[in-house]
Amino acid sequence: MTDRKPQKTNLRAIVVGGGMGGLAAANALIQKGLDVTVYEQAPELGEVGAGIFIYPNSLRQMHRMGFEDALAKVGARVGAGSMYRRMDGSEVGPIVMADSSGWNGFYGMHRADILEAFAAALPPGTVKCGHRATGFSQDANSATVTFENGHSDTADLIVAADGLRSVLQPFATEPSEPEYSGFRAYRGLVERSKLDSWYDETHQVWMGDGKHFMVFPVRRGELLNYVGFVPMDIATVESWSAEGDRDELAADFACWDPMIGKLLDKVDHCFWWGLNDRRPLKSWSNGRLTLLGDAAHPMLPHLGQGVNQAIEDGVALSMLLEGRSSADVPQLLQTYERLRKPRTDMVQTEARKNGMRYDSLYDSIEQRDHEIRNIAGLRLSLYDYDVEKEVKEAMAEMA
């Protein structure tokens, strides 16, 4: 999928977790010449019906990896007209929808579509489903992961991409419990054709009254992905598949902009998940084991960067490992952590802060609106970042 031939290496990697972060990392590692096996605990690959945002910082990496055409076929372009709004629908200010160069590298994506694109690019037999990791061990020369079904496998390195409640995380670092944010998110999809009018090709965010609501298109604009964030005192799990109450959601936003009601009138059912993250971990790596994506840096969705940061992780890791020997792996995983952790620590923190803005947790609406209007600098710092450039510069300094 790329014209550049990877440097040959004898390195073998095991990726534990067949979600988007794991499959993106597998593609990146294979393109750099590694032999990769992905183990997924579910009986088959699959994603629930929900949308995510792909931003310029990860899209430029996926283009370089050869996914430009595949994503263009299934993504929905999102751009001009995207708006922050008060709960009554009045405008607060435009959402930044380009990086500093003016590139509109934004897609609304159905999670299943992007997972399918990543899976289709892997060599046959790369992914082995029905394998739930239970243990890890290592010596000076290799690392081994064991599974609930009795299988075990050994490689030069293990990449734990097994999510917020990672089974392998305690083998890599001092474990950290997820923290419940106090909010539940209701989400789902509505066919665009069911609405006589909408803010097409845009991202809309309504803010106020301790909660917020957003909508953006996915799957070529054929579907609208909606998410309603509401406070919930009782801690709720991070399930993506718990059935939600559509009428309860509609009641939460009954006095808001009629456009929200218009969309919710077309909703047949919805799902919910509890919003959890972690404080930044002390470390990610231990010898030949390292963490990636939510296993390393779970973050609240209020900057939309979760999957995007996982893709950056995989690119950085693959670049560092290209053409290297097994003896180099432990030190290279430390370098990977050192390069990535400051950025993901920042994004985790800023995602929490942005949630406060969206949910109007301020002394005044004026203060909130002021911060929202002046958030462009943060957005651009996220979108302009080029992980490939960052790693190349670091490698040049190490040479």
pLDDT tens-digit series, residues 29-73 = 999 999 999 999 999 988 766 899 999 999 999 999 999 999 999
pLDDT beyond 80 at 363: no
pLDDT band at 6 (very low <50, low <70, confident <90, very high): low
Q: Classify strands 157-160 and 289-291 as parallel, antiparallel or unpaired.
A: parallel
Q: Kindly tell me if the per-residue pLDDT of 13 is higher than 90.
A: yes
- Give the alpha-carbon dihedral of 153, 157, 159, 160, to 10 degrees: 60
Largest CA distance in the chain: 64
Q: What is the CATH number of domain 12-177+278-398?
A: 3.50.50.60
Q: Among residues 94, 32, 29, 100, which one has the least CA distance to residue 60?
A: 100
From CA 142, how far away is CA 287, in angstroms rounded?
9
Report residue 303's pLDDT band, with 50, 70 and 90 as the boundaries: very high
Q: What percentage of the chain carries pLDDT values higher than 70?
A: 95
Alpha-carbon distance of 243 to 375, in angstroms, equals 34
pLDDT at 7 over 60: no
Specify the higher pLDDT residue, 5 or 151: 151
Of 48, 64, 157, nearest to 105 (Cα)?
A: 64
Instruction: Lowest mean pLDDT of 98-102, 214-218, 242-246, name the range.
Output: 242-246
Q: Does the structure show a pLDDT above 90 at 337?
A: yes
Helix ranges restricted to H, the chain: 20-31, 56-64, 68-74, 111-120, 169-172, 246-252, 258-264, 306-321, 329-358, 365-373, 376-384, 387-398
Distance of CA 388 to the CA centre of its chain: 18
User: How many helices (H) and strands (E) would you count in the chain?
Assistant: 12, 19
- In angstroms and rounded to an integer, the radius of gyration of the C-alpha atoms of the chain is 21
Cβ atoms of 89 and 258 closer than 8 Å: yes
Banded model confidence at residue 113, pLDDT cuts 50, 70, 90:
very high
**What is the reported pLDDT for 22?**
98
Pick from 244, 256, 262: nearest CA to 212: 256
List the one residue out of 168, 132, 144 whose CA is nearest residue 40. 132
* Phi, psi (deg, nearest 5) at residue 162: -105, 30
Q: pLDDT confidence of 1, banded at 50, 70, 90?
A: very low
pLDDT for res 211: 94
Domain boundaries, the chain: 12-177+278-398
Map residue 379 onto helix, strand or coil: helix
CA distance 333 to 287: 8
pLDDT at 182 over 90: no
Q: What is the pLDDT of residue 5?
A: 55
Nearest to 212 by CA among 62, 343, 357, 6: 357
Amino acid 16 reads: V
Residue 354 corresponds to which tokens in the numbers above? 């942005």
Place of tokens 């059912």: 269
pLDDT recorded at residue 16:
98
Q: Cα 237 to the chain's mean position, in Å? A: 18
Task: Give the three-state DSSP class for 369.
Answer: helix
Average of per-residue pLDDT values in the chain: 92
Task: Give the C-alpha separation, 118 to 144, whole Å.
Answer: 25
Helix (H, G, I), strand (E, B) or coil at 96: coil
Q: How confident is the model at residue 398 (pLDDT cuts 50, 70, 90)?
A: confident
Q: What is the pLDDT of residue 274?
A: 83
